[in-house]
Chains A and B, each alone.
Chain A
Amino acid sequence: MKEPILSVRNLRTYFYTEDGIVKAVDGVDFDVFQGETLGIVGESGCGKSVTSLSILRILDEKGRIVEGSIVFDNVDLTKISEESMRKIRGKDIAMIFQEPMVALNPVFTIGEQIVEAIVLHQKVDETTAKKMAVDLLRKVGIPEPEKRVDEYPHELSGGMRQRAMIAMALSCKPKILIADEPTTALDVTIQAQIMELMKQLQREYGMAIILITHDMGVIAENADRVVVMYAGKAVEYTDVKTLFNDPKHPYTWGLLHAIPRLDIEQTRLYNIPGIVPNPLKFPTGCKFHPRCEFAEEKCKSEEPELKEVVNGHLVRCFFWEKVEQAKKKEAGDKQ
């Protein structure tokens, strides 16, 4: 049995705002294994980014982890001091963001920023660090790295900037790379390049990736295991093949039917009625019940637990068997 390198249990991160408590993350569980990619997928405001910020403990001052544990290397990251956390951040767990222009400092060259990260965590002098930076840039596929290392972020294209971000994140050979919507701001042909690069580097470094995205296609292509989030909660957690072939939560099932696909002809897209609820006033009971076609009275008052329904397949729903019936009916209709 493989041991996970990161284990998140019952994570709850709340933001104490002037308008009230925002339960951005309210019950998330998952494991990350070495060399594997964990996908976290969900619509805007579901808490997927806050989950990743909680792992690195880089929440803004209003946010607090109120419950749960994040165990990395037998250490609970929610319990250790800020100083010990700083040694892990960027070294063992690194992160890349959606908008590299915002994440990179515009007044320093690419090289200076990578050198800073290297010198901070490794015992090398600046000249060696700069050589390492050039090598890293070459590794992530930036042409003419000797020249690019002295350029500023604005001189690079969006795709190149994301490559530079990856180079910086990899500078200390992290065990886990968190990628928060790494290709959302990029065109599809560039997205394909970046995802391919990340896969190749993952094989080479043997690192784990936590991939956060709203795009089910990106998940299908890259993830090994998937957490589906809705309104701050993990609603389904399983391996990628099972998730797509045999979704058990009504939200996952609906979402997969709402996506237009380029490889098949479709006549109608499935409608999940309504909208994602406001985090200040989440519905009572199951957070998905107002939009759920399978909901019953019980769902309005009681909150379902994230339970293992089949081996390794966790679902947060009282009536997941109803989705099974819907799937059978669907298969019948096709014949």
Chain B
Amino acid sequence: MTEILLSVKNLKKYFPVKQGFLIKRTVAEIKAVDDVSFDIEKGKTFALVGESGCGKTTVARTVLKLTNPTEGQIFFENTDISKFGYSELLPFRRKMQIVFQDPMSSLNPRMTIGQIVTEPMIFHKVARTKQEAYDRAKSLMEMVGLKAFHLDRYPHQFSGGQRQRIAIARAIAIEPEFLILDEPTSSLDVSVQAQIINLFLDFQERFRFSYLFISHNLGLVRFISHTVGIMYLGKIVELGETDEVFEEPLHPYSMALLSATPIPDPKVERSRQRIILKGGVPSPISRPSGCFFNPRCPYKMEICEKVYPEFRKVSENRWVACHLVK
């Protein structure tokens, strides 16, 4: 029996576009997240993939309630937290943590690593005294591959990879169950990226963490995630088991995305047929009518310009929004 930790249902997040000098009127809406649903099982990794501006980070921020959803539900351990206020959220906040892309801007430059790592433990009362928190911080540093004496240093004294390790130590300090990893390695070099990714895998094995992994790096997504959702202009266009989606993508956008990503092997790379898409991603303010992907889609039909395809279940673990897929 699978155990669902987080379930997002029909999540929407719209941002108003205001215009006017003295009297500001809402002239349009940016539908950053538009009817997104997915589940994350306990101890598993769900990845959200897409190009810049597709809304993947907004999903993360909304799930954590850093911003309130416009519509939809967020079930964490079967409790809908989407309408919760500050005090109701507190016990849930302890169970959810996030690791950001840029560890330099997510660590306070004026705090020592010790203060950074112990603060959440004291705030969430995971540790009773400062001394206890500090002792735990020491063992956390070892866990993420740093040394106890690093606790007295400041963020600027560390390299990018080490800073990301500190951000991870802070996130796991309060023993969460669910971690959002928002492009955690995109500012790191490949050799350091591998170290950090292996760390995430170790922790998942040891503590049964569930991850929401956000990335535009498809190789990484294939490696780390169990299930994957591919986003385009605020909507998930394809969702399924990672290996199945990567072996046999059904949505034309998924196909194009996989085809556009170069494979580090000249033999494979030069023998495969590539799909080169026309044009760029349209503005989220004026999305095309019908299917949003239709102006770039090589398989466009008449209906695609008129009707947005329904997000349908096509097989056991696969959902696709495309008129082509029967």
Given contacts A187-B51, A241-B266, A245-B267, contact A262 B194 (CB under 8 A): no
Please name all residues of chain B whose beta carbon is closer than 8 Å to the beta carbon of A188 when the two chains form the complex: 51, 216, 218, 257, 260-261
Given contacts A187-B281, A272-B194, contact A262 B276 (CB under 8 A): no
Please name all residues of chain A whose beta carbon is closer than 8 Å to the beta carbon of B224 when the two chains form the complex: 260
Do the beta carbons of B280 and A261 come within 8 Å of each other?
no
**B198 at the A/B interface (Cβ < 8 Å)?**
yes
**B270 at the A/B interface (Cβ < 8 Å)?**
yes
In the assembled complex, 6 residue pairs joining A and B whose CB atoms fall closer than 8 Å, in A order, are A188-B261, A192-B259, A221-B263, A258-B193, A260-B224, A270-B194
CB interface residues, A 241-285, toward B, < 8 Å = 241, 244-245, 254-256, 258-263, 265-266, 268-273, 275-276
Cα of A272 to Cα of B191 in the assembled complex, Å: 6
Q: Which residue of B lies closest to A193 (CB)?
A: B276
Q: Which residue of A lies closest to B243 (CB)?
A: A265
Please name all residues of chain B whose beta carbon is closer than 8 Å to the beta carbon of A254 when the two chains form the complex: 191
CB interface residues, B 250-306, toward A, < 8 Å = 256-270, 274, 276-277, 280-281
Q: Which residue of A lies closest to B221 (CB)?
A: A262
Encode contact with A along B103-128: 1 for CB under 8 Å, 0 otherwise: 00000000000000000000000000
**B88 at the A/B interface (Cβ < 8 Å)?**
no
**B316 at the A/B interface (Cβ < 8 Å)?**
no
Please name all residues of chain A whose beta carbon is closer than 8 Å to the beta carbon of B262 when the two chains form the complex: 215, 217-218, 220-221
The 6 closest A-B pairs by CB, nearest first: A217-B262, A260-B223, A192-B260, A258-B194, A187-B51, A216-B264
Given contacts A159-B280, A258-B194, A271-B194, contact A187 B264 (CB under 8 A): no
**A335 at the A/B interface (Cβ < 8 Å)?**
no
From A261, A266, A269, A276, contact of B263 by CB (8 A): A261
Do the beta carbons of B270 and A221 come within 8 Å of each other?
yes
Do the beta carbons of A189 and B256 come within 8 Å of each other?
yes
**A190 at the A/B interface (Cβ < 8 Å)?**
yes
Do the beta carbons of A271 and B260 come within 8 Å of each other?
no
CB interface residues, B 203-250, toward A, < 8 Å = 216-224, 243, 246
Please name all residues of chain B whose beta carbon is closer than 8 Å to the beta carbon of A266 when the two chains form the complex: 223
From B189, B246, B267, B277, contact of A276 by CB (8 A): B189
Do the beta carbons of B191 and A187 come within 8 Å of each other?
no
CB interface residues, B 177-211, toward A, < 8 Å = 189-195, 197-198, 201
Q: Which residues of A contact B (CB under 8 A)?
A: 43-44, 157, 159-160, 187-193, 196, 214-221, 240-241, 244-245, 254-256, 258-263, 265-266, 268-273, 275-276, 291
From A157, A187, A217, A220, contact of B216 by CB (8 A): A187
CB distance from B216 to the nearest CB of A (A): 7
**B159 at the A/B interface (Cβ < 8 Å)?**
yes
Please name all residues of chain A whose beta carbon is closer than 8 Å to the beta carbon of B190 when the two chains form the complex: 43, 214, 216, 255, 258-259
Q: Which residue of B lies closest to A160 (CB)?
A: B280
Do the beta carbons of B280 and A260 come within 8 Å of each other?
no
Given contacts A192-B276, A220-B263, A268-B198, contact A43 B219 (CB under 8 A): no
CB distance from B181 to the nearest CB of A (A): 14
The residue among A157, A189, A215, A217 with the most chain B CB atoms within 10 A of its own CB is A189
Cα of A245 to Cα of B270 in the assembled complex, Å: 14
Do the beta carbons of A260 and B222 come within 8 Å of each other?
yes
**B317 at the A/B interface (Cβ < 8 Å)?**
no
Do the beta carbons of A255 and B191 come within 8 Å of each other?
yes
**B161 at the A/B interface (Cβ < 8 Å)?**
yes
From A159, A214, A256, A265, contact of B189 by CB (8 A): A214
Q: Which residue of B lies closest to A264 (CB)?
A: B222
Please name all residues of chain B whose beta carbon is closer than 8 Å to the beta carbon of A240 when the two chains form the complex: 266
Given contacts A188-B51, A192-B260, contact A220 B161 (CB under 8 A): no
Given contacts A254-B191, A262-B218, A272-B194, contact A192 B274 (CB under 8 A): yes
Please name all residues of chain B whose beta carbon is closer than 8 Å to the beta carbon of A190 when the two chains form the complex: 280
Do the beta carbons of A189 and B263 come within 8 Å of each other?
no
